[in-house]
């Protein structure tokens, strides 16, 4: 019997009481196990202590998760963040180099929300820090005072671009997705291919052109109740199959 692929899930740092913790959302680790069919392994934000080469040698895939925090803008030469913006420099130091190393090593990668934004920054792109303040763009934030089922419910259609990874999964040309983000892609990094667009033209998904394996970023949250949405599930199943292929090769 073949073993389950070992899929790293990036952690954020959070102070709880007097102690710092490394945490990953339940919905992400569940989606890796239930949607991708993998064994999730939470990767702490310890760039200075992790041997990334050793880590990657032992992984079959990497999921870069969403987060309440934003990438620090100095990583993409952006202006200072608005007062009160939550950052996680320990995560930045861990994930930004790890993204390029993993893709160069042919390890399947899926980036979600912050992970999607991290992928763009890691390859040299820039971010809108407040999409809702940009002329011509929609407010992509969730209604904060609504229950989770409403926050993560379908919010807007998405135009899947022909000839790409998402199109190759058999997704319809237009799908409905949730929308839970304040930041977004401003300038797409070189080497990234647009996979899907929101109605206002904001990039909602890209792939890494020429990657040796699955390398996709999405701005929405397909991990949410992944088994109940066939389009979300198709994405995780494709990621999981790429991870299984790497496990077989290893």
The predicted structure's pLDDT at residue 12: 98
Instruction: Specify whether 142 is catalytic.
Output: no
Catalytic residue status for 221? yes
Rounded to whole angstroms, how far apart are CA atoms 215 and 102?
9
Q: Check 12, 113, 128, 140 and give the catalytic one.
A: 113
| Sign for the pseudo-dihedral over CA of 28, 84, 142, 134 | negative
In sequence order, which residues have a C-beta less than 8 Å from that of residue 173 and are 6 or more positions away?
Answer: 159, 160, 162, 167
Q: Is 12 a catalytic residue?
A: no
- Give the pLDDT score at 1: 54
The two structure tokens encoding residue 49: 């202590």
From 128, 204, 221, 243, active-site residue: 221
Choose, from 72, 142, 195, 223, the residue flagged as catalytic: 223
pLDDT tens series, the chain, 250 aa: 578 999 999 999 999 999 999 999 999 999 999 999 999 999 999 999 999 999 999 999 999 999 999 999 999 999 999 999 999 999 999 999 999 999 999 999 999 999 999 999 999 999 999 999 999 999 999 999 999 999 999 999 999 999 999 999 999 999 999 999 999 999 999 999 999 999 999 999 999 999 999 999 999 999 999 999 999 999 999 999 999 999 999 8
In degrees and rounded to multiples of 5, residue 216 shows phi and psi of: -135, 140
Predicted local distance difference test score (pLDDT) of residue 250: 83
The count of other CB atoms within 10 Å of the CB of residue 15 is 8
């Amino acid at each position: 019997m073949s073993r389950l692929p070992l899929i790293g899930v990036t952690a954020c740092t959070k102070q709880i009481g007097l102690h710092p913790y490394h945490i990953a959302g339940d919905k992400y680790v569940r989606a890796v196990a239930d949607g991708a069919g993998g064994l999730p392994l939470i990767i702490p934000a310890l760039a200075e202590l992790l041997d990334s080469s050793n880590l990657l040698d032992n992984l079959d895939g990497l999921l870069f998760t969403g987060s309440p925090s934003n990438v620090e803008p100095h990583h993409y030469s952006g202006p200072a963040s608005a007062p009160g913006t939550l950052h996680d420099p320990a995560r930045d130091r861990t994930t930004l180099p790890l993204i390029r190393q993993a893709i160069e090593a042919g390890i399947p990668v899926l980036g979600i929300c912050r992970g999607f934004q991290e992928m763009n920054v890691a390859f040299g792109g820039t971010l809108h820090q407040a999409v809702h303040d940009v002329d011509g763009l929609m407010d992509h934030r969730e209604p904060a005072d609504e229950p989770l089922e409403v926050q993560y419910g379908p919010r807007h259609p998405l135009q899947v671009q022909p000839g790409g990874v998402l199109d190759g999964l058999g997704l319809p040309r237009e799908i409905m997705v949730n929308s839970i983000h304040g930041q977004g892609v401003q300038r797409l990094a070189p080497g990234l291919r647009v996979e899907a667009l929101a109605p206002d033209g904001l990039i909602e998904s890209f792939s890494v052109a020429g990657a040796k394996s699955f390398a996709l970023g999405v701005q929405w949250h397909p991990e949410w109740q992944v088994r109940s949405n066939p389009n979300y599930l198709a994405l995780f199943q494709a990621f999981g199959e790429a991870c299984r292929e790497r496990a077989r090769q290893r």
